[in-house]
Structures are given as C-alpha cells and as structure tokens.
Structure 1
Amino acid sequence: MLSIAHIQKRFGTVQALNDVSFDVHDGEIMGLIGQNGAGKSTTFHSILNFLSFDGQITWNGQPLTADDYDQIGYLPEERSLMSKLTITQKIVYLARLKNQPARVTKGKIAAWMKRFAVKGQPTDKIDKLSKGNQQKVQLICTLIHDPKLIILDEPFSGLDPVNADLLKQAILDAKQRGAAIIFSSHDMSNVEAICDSLVMLRNGEAVLKGTVEDVRAQFGRTRLFLTTDWSQAQLADLPGVTTVTQQGARRFRLELADASVGPAIFDQVTAGHYIEEFSQQPPTLDEIFRTEAGGVNHE
C-alpha cells in the first residue's frame, strides 16, 4: 500500500501542496484529478523522490527504498523517447534501469507489442513510428517489468478511443495481479469507468476524496431522467423541480431542488402505471469537476 501523509511542498511563495493525505491499496485504481496546476504532478514527483517535501510517503509502512523504486512504473506527462534507438533497444534499456534482465525483457516485447497493437517490428527505430505508436511503446516501457506501483500522468492524452480501451484493459489487468495504480486525467469518463477511488486537488489541497460512488453521492441525487408523455410545462410545475430540459421527443432531464422530492414525482408521473424510464442520479464526475475544481491554481 502507498500511503501519503500530510505532505507539503512550497516553491518560493507558491504553496504547491498543502497537507495532502491519501492511501492507494494493492489492487486499487485511484484517480488523481484537478485542473492544470492543482498539484497532481508535484504529488507524483514527491512519490518518486524527484524533489524534497515535508510530510511522509511510505510503501507498505516503510519509507521507499531503491529496491522499491525498481517496482514502480512511471509514465510522465511529458512524453520522451530516444528516437534513434530501436523499439527493442529502448524497452530493454529502461527495463534494465529497473533491474530486469535484458533476456527477460526481450522475451516479453513481442507479446506487449501485440497487446497494444503497435504497428511495426521490434527492430524498427522509434523515429520511424507514428506518434501514437511511439506513445504505446512508452506505455510498454512503463509496464513491462510488472511494477507493483504504477503512476500514470495523463496516460490517455492523445489516444483514440480504441487505443484508450487497450490501455484501460492493461490497467485493469495490472489491478487484477495486485498492483496499486494511481493516474491523473482530465477526462472524467475514464476516471468514472475504471477508478475505485479518487482524490481531487485544488490549489494544492485535497478537497474531495473517497470512492467514486461516495464522492458522487455527496452531491445528492438531484438529476432525474425520465421518458414520459407529460409535457415540459407539466413537468416544470411539479413541486421541487427547478429546471426541465427536453432531450428527445419524450425524454427529459429534471433538476431537483432536493433529492427527497423524487418519490413524490415518481408517484405523480407514473400514477401507478408502467413508465419506460425513471432514473434519479447524482451529478456525474464531469459535472462535479467543473463546479469543484475551479479557481486559480499553481503547481
């Protein structure tokens, strides 16, 4: 388990991190979210010991050692590859830095290239690959030594939906084998799809944290989607309804002043009869992000 306890980091007059604490358990995927400059990369760099900080970061209850860092896979936001090397040379070189023997790495490369649908041969030079395939090679470099802790800084950036799905599956497979995974993303659909928990940073402080379901539930089930023959005007007159948006010939989205009015609306609209859709939900993560992550941030 990775444990972050009360870490703080200041750059001159800028408080980049202020008393940030959270845990990432083995076999758990955690999303670290927030606007640019909220403190996400500074958190990652603190975990990786790229910079000094106040507070404590431990792995399985102990300070991280050199051997522990060999068990970390890190994908930085700033993509960088040595373009004159071949795919094999690049992957073997980075895996050797993690103390994985070259013969072991070479035996895995073909399977990983197939897994990520890399178009090219292991002997191809990096600079001959498309940008997307270069990014997939860097993902292979991050994962090929089967790390126990995986840190991914905006891993989905630049990936089309098909390749994003390949990465999601690789992340889920790593979770299945027990890895602790933390990644940042501005796409809340990715966070909502695969994360067990999340931490939202704003101005260097953790302003939301918990399971995805618990975080959404904090904001109340004030979105109501229904399909009905009622008119928009009739729905707008219902007690507790603040706004009504028509989303199709008979489908509407209602905003509620309070989640507790849902059952009364259900009774009125259905009148004891079948209705195609009645779904009362909390805000999406994207909606929460837009309202909670704002402000002037620094990192």
Structure 2
Amino acid sequence: MKTIRALGVTLMAVSMTFASTVLAGPGGQIGVGNRVAAMWSNGGYFLGTVTEIEGDRYNILFEDGDRLAVNSANVVALREDMPFSVGDRVVAAWKGISMYPGVVTKVHAKSCMVGWDDGDEPLLVAKDKIFHADKAVAATTAATAFNVGDHVTAMWRDSRYYPGIVTEVRGSQCLIKWDDGDEPLFVLQEHIRSLSNAPSASLNVGDHVLATWKDGHKYPGVIAEARGDLFLIRWDDGDEPMLVAKDKILPFPQQQVQLLPGATPTRQESNREH
C-alpha cells in the first residue's frame, strides 16, 4: 500500500539537484536553514525549516518531522526582529507547530500577545513564530460546474484522491459516492477533478499533477522528466519516482485557501483502507 501523510481538510519529496541557496518568499529572502511558516497541502500553515531549494520550490522539514516540497509563494520568512503593532492581523503558532489567525493585542521586545479569531484564550507568542496575515496565500479559484452522475476523482478526509460519482450538488460542494463503497462525503468543488475530461494536452516538467500510482489511486506529485507519452513523477510524499502514462495524469486541482475566523487547520492520521 502506498504510504502518504494524512491531512485534515479544515481550511492541504524526494530531493533532486540542489539549484539555489536563497529565494525571495513572502516576508523576505529565504535560504537553506531558515525557519519558516509553510503551507501544508490542506491549506494550513505550520512551522518548519528549509532543508533544500529546487527551482521555485522549498523542501521543508516541519517541526513534527514531516517533509514536503512547497512552492515558494506558500512559504513565509519568520524573523525575531519582525516589526508588529497592536491591531495587526497575523497568523501565529498556537502551543505547537500549527498556526492560526488572530490579532496582536500587545507587543513586547521578542514576543506578542495574540488574541485568536476563534475566541481561544490569548497567548504570548515569540515573534519568530508570527507573520503578518497579508503574507498568507488567499487565492480564489472559480468553482467548476459538476453535475449529478459525473465520474470524478475527489479528495477524501485523508487528502488522497479517490474515484466516485457525484450524487448531489449543493453550491460549492458535491456529495461523492465512492467507487470503493465508503460512506458518501461532501467535497468542495476545488478538490474534485472530472474523470470524464481528456487529460491535459500539455504536460511539462515541473507541473504539479495527480498521477495514478500502482494501486490505481491518484496521488499528487511533480513531473520530473518527460519521455514521449510517459512522465517520471516525483511524488509529494517522497515515495520512489515512477513513470506514468499521459492518460493517467491530471492537472493538480487548485486549492481555495482563505484564513477565516475560527479556522483550525489540523493534520491527522488516516484509517482509510484500500
């Protein structure tokens, strides 16, 4: 069975040639060894350290031991001399590596008191565990129109993509009846891809895609090499790269990431069986 780190969906690498030592990310220059806030693939920000830079992607070692290659636009520099003022909207670490939105209520030399949007008790947080909320990605993606009966691949609770059928559409969500018989689940449309659509005619090295692994399920990865109609996929979870046929590859769904009051991104272990 393919091993992958499971994620919560409350708000979503094998290293190659070392390409650079410093890149500009939100909040300033970022280099190998720098502490950062990086977006996990569920849209939540977590504390980590840059271990390598490959093109416009950072290899991040998160403080809980997880690793992930993250696009530079989704990595924010953290500094203990970052200036903050009372009233600033921020994203800050709460009693661990998970980061949540809030407001600065008091500023000290090396820390800030943060009042959390979800109403939790204010907490004193070191400045190198805080960044201004305007540095966070707030991308919006137009919803794709799906219809009842469409055969799709959609994100389940463990953030893996599984095939299923759309049985109900409610605004930005679709109820998915899974091909494996698991309990139906409402999924945001930005986490759904149609299996009826023809694969993208243009696939290029560096593209983030969903590709079919040995177990028949689709997993996220990056195209590392093109060989005619075969593409070498470097999986996001660090599994061994594998050649995948073009007709078994889909563009990776763009996430809609917003920092909303009360949002609490979490990561959890999955119990889903295949």
> Structure 1-normalised TM-score?
0.24
Bigger strand fraction? 2
Which structure's relative contact order is higher, taking Cα pairs within 8 Å and 6+ residues apart? 1
Structure index of larger Rg: 1
